[in-house]
Structure 1
């Protein structure tokens, strides 16, 4: 039974435990699991074949654990943690050597997280072949005619409950490959073909979004003739030649402190990027504007969040973590009668920037996010489209030339902040190329990438909802 304290309590006959796997974990016998098993039993009684996931796949495995040897970008290969694989755009800040071949990813494998937040899945794309992916993801090789259907079922309410019932671990939850392969799945040929086609369509859009973003990024540096600058380009003095530690130190004149005593504000890479931008201006390749002269910043007041389970009574609420994910994970809905709700809503072509925690993440609001709500931890940037293409503006902020400027402004002892009202970023320098065609070409690609990302999510959600409703219809017919 459901109680006001948030716990779901129920009684269970000990005979039921003997019939199963002698498990004493409550989630194994939860109402969701029992409901899912009953639904599958009803489908079986109507004559529908219930098989195992193992019957549809060619191979399933989890790579063995290994000792990572971290190295520099120039010496190693990019490494992705499970959470990194769900990011958009796909980037890595860790590089390793000495890995085994079974950590490499092939195109169109089904990947499932098996530690921590278990059961999150995605279909690998061609871009993932350039990365090494954590051993905390199960790899499943499956024929393309079954790939989309298995993905959809495992992401349905039935599939998720059957995955989570087998998780084990006191603090960090885990599952094993055999837990996935032994999950029962209905075999309905016509429905399977229909679902498979739509999921693969969403996968293709998502893959296209990744490559279109990379094209926009490539053109940004190529057309503007800007070098990609990182911390590795800074010549820091050697503090101790006998030490193996990578201490980075630098000097700065007291005249340039600008009332900031935190070292991150004065990092030398800021000077490098600004010098590059002003060189382009000097050569009449473009102009430099302050952030505030091209866009205004909006942010709602802190508000009480009244979450609802009924989608029709709510509005999707984006948190800071969501804007950099390929698909928002754990998305919640706030009540559509929330006070001052209109102040929380976002509009197409606005730019969102995280202002606390992991500061400086940037995302563009596509037409599929128009009318959603966003947390007060997200700054809203409203670009004057008469002055600059919003897609180009977002691309600039996403590049090193924007990111280094954004992150230098952070403050806070425990949680990084960039200012409640966003005033600190008003003076960030934004580069505008003289040739407007270049600006619009890059901006259009950036907007297209985010539009395809969100269209893929829309198709995927609609397909999984259709699968769930059709299975429910079959159990009640």
Structure 2
């Protein structure tokens, strides 16, 4: 339970508004501080392109999905506007987009979730340009002749901006926000140099995230080309097919999807690539948190904790912290830099079997029981090469996902992962791929640092401009 005392004058000033949300979250304090600034202020609608038309609610749409990228647009949901890797997102039919051009988003647009978890922001990266996007995400298009889009994003992402967004409507539960709810938010204006510098950090951050993704794609492509692997084995894993398997194989696993045509095809490709040793034989190890009692505490006394869904976000910012005193040896639960974090459960076609490269941001963090930590730092194979094979090629993904067991919520086991055979390239080629993955991780970490710096510059400038009491 949260208890907070507020002056009665706040309730009077807010038109006797009695819903607790804005008072509890700090939205009212943020509003009054913005009002008190001695600097000039423009409303959001005054700095968007074509006024209110620059705050776009795309409207309801019918979803028709396609499997061929030539006949569709990659489709961003409220979840995956925040994820780092966009390679496996769904495609919506081109015919749907043709009738609603507002569905497409452009580079440097500001994206704000308007339903569900309201007020989460993303800056449209270069690799998101011309993607279709759900109507549950509002688009804010800055007029660059009036304001730097990066600066506007940094302000709206700051404590002062976010609080105004989520306090935009009345009611204990805010189900949606509309353009009218954010158009009058005051945007403080500072020197052109300051706003430009902040904007450069945000845009550079977005470019680095796009560059990181491009390097990961390149790493997978090089492996595919070397072994003549197809980019895609099939449109889906669990489809209605028939296949035959030897009785010796069926004695080990009897679930049909372990022996289906796609799984068998991936086996043939791996065999033809000359794979001989399993991951275990190469010295690769795995780590699992195991079932444990989760005791959460304040960040000063805890270890950052993330779930299997949260590890995929472009921003690594854990909201919960486990009590370190209850965890035991860090080797048992801690993530090391260059670990491969594998989502071990979920629906096939979702996050299960996909993973994340643990860059410097993840060091000594904790992950949920639904994440397998694959450790190759002391093995015969470079971690970056292993990551690129498992996570950036469809052959590696199919080898992983075929072993998922369970009909309701399938899951992967560490033992099955370590039994996979790894095709090998030459030492120099594997090193080059490892370095691509390393560089991608460094770019992702730097991107978040730049974004954090930009937001802090905005908040510091606002605090400095506020009257001193």
The counterpart of 1:350, out of the listed 324, 339, 343, is 339
What is the alpha-carbon distance in structure 2 between the residues aligned to residue 473 and residue 315 of structure 1? Answer: 32
Structure 1 unaligned spans of 5+: 1-5, 237-246, 282-286
Could you tell me which residue of structure 2 aligns to residue 122 of structure 1?
122
CA contact 1:289–1:432 (8 Å) conserved in 2: no
Deviation per residue, 1:40-84 (Å, 9 max, x gap): 233x2xx22233122222222111211122233253332222212
The whole-number CA distance in structure 1 between the counterparts of 2:86 and 2:297 is 32
Deviations 1:334-366 (A, max 9, x none): 344443151322211111112233422211111
Alpha-carbon contact 1:353-1:378 (below 8 Å) kept: yes
Quickly say closer, same or farther: Cα 1:168–1:227, change in 2 above 3 A.
farther
Query: Does the CA-based 8 Å contact 2:202-2:451 persist in structure 1?
Result: yes
Q: Which residue of 1 aligns with 2:359?
A: 366
Alignment partners' CA distance in 2, 1:56 and 1:66: 28
Do 2:201 and 2:454's aligned partners in 1 also have CA atoms closer than 8 Å?
Answer: yes
1:106 is matched with 106
Matched, 1:158 2:160: yes
Partner of 1:226: 229
Is the 1:77–1:132 Cα contact (8 Å) retained in structure 2? Answer: yes
Distance 2:326 2:150 in 1: 37
CA 228–25 in structure 1, closer or farther in 2 if over 3 Å, else same: same
Q: Give deviations 1:152-204, integer Å, cap 9, x for gaps.
A: 12112222211111257887821112222221222222543342232222222
Pairing of 1:455-474 with structure 2 (within 5 A)? 455-474=446-465
Counterpart check, 1:328 vs 2:316: yes
Please report how far the alpha carbon of residue 423 of structure 1 lies from its aligned counterpart in structure 2 after TM superposition.
1.6
Name 2:77's counterpart in structure 1: 81
The answer to whether the 8 Å contact 1:368/1:455 transfers is: no
- Structure 1 residue runs of 4 or more that deviate by more than 6 Å after TM superposition: 9-12, 15-18, 168-172
1:35 is matched with which residue: 29, 38, 42?
29
1:415 aligns with 2:409: yes
Report 1:272-351 matches (<5 A): 272-281=265-274, 287-294=275-282, 295-310=284-299, 312-328=300-316, 331-340=319-328, 342=330, 343-351=332-340
Q: Does 1:429 align with 2:421?
A: yes
Within the candidate set 203, 207, 212, 1:200 is matched to: 203
Q: Give yes or no for the alignment of 1:258 onto 2:251.
A: yes
Q: Is the 2:327–2:333 contact (alpha carbons within 8 Å) kept by the matching residues of 1?
A: no
- Contact 1:395 / 1:446 at 8 angstroms: preserved in 2? yes
Q: Which runs of 5+ in 2 are unaligned?
A: none
**TM-score by structure 2 length?**
0.86
102 and 334 in structure 1: CA distance in 2 versus 1, 3 angstrom threshold: same
Checking the alignment, whether the CA contact within 8 Å between 1:68 and 1:97 is kept in structure 2 is no
Distance 1:200 1:57 in 2: 18
Q: Tell me the number of residue pairs that the alignment of Structure 1 and Structure 2 aligns.
A: 448
Q: What residue in structure 1 maps to residue 380 of structure 2?
A: 387
SS at 2:273's partner residue?
helix
CA contact (8 A) 2:404 2:411 kept: yes
Structure 1 stretch displaced more, 271-280 or 72-81: 72-81
Q: Determine if the alignment matches structure 1 residue 65 to structure 2 residue 60.
A: yes
Distance 2:226 2:163 in 1: 50
Deviations 1:351-405 (A, max 9, x none): 1112233422211111232233323322111115552121110011112122112
C-alpha displacement of 1:138? 1.4
Higher mean C-alpha displacement, 100-109 vs 135-144:
135-144
* Contact kept? 2:241, 2:261, Cα under 8 Å: no
State TM-score, norm by structure 1: 0.84
Residue 258 to residue 170, structure 1, CA distance change in 2 (3 Å):
farther
Q: Name which of 208, 212, 228 aligns with 1:209.
A: 212
Maintained 8 Å contact 1:70/1:97:
no
After superposition, what is the alpha-carbon deviation per residue over 1:207-235, rounded to whole angstroms, capped at 9, x for unaligned? 2212222222222222332112332499x
- More moved, 349-358 vs 143-152: 143-152
Residue 244 of structure 1: aligned partner: none
What's the CA shift for 1:426?
A: 1.8
Render the CA deviation track for 1:402-427: whole Å, top value 9, x for unaligned. 211222222235433223xx122221
Tell me, in whole angstroms, the C-alpha distance in 2 between the residues paired with 1:411 and 1:444.
Answer: 34
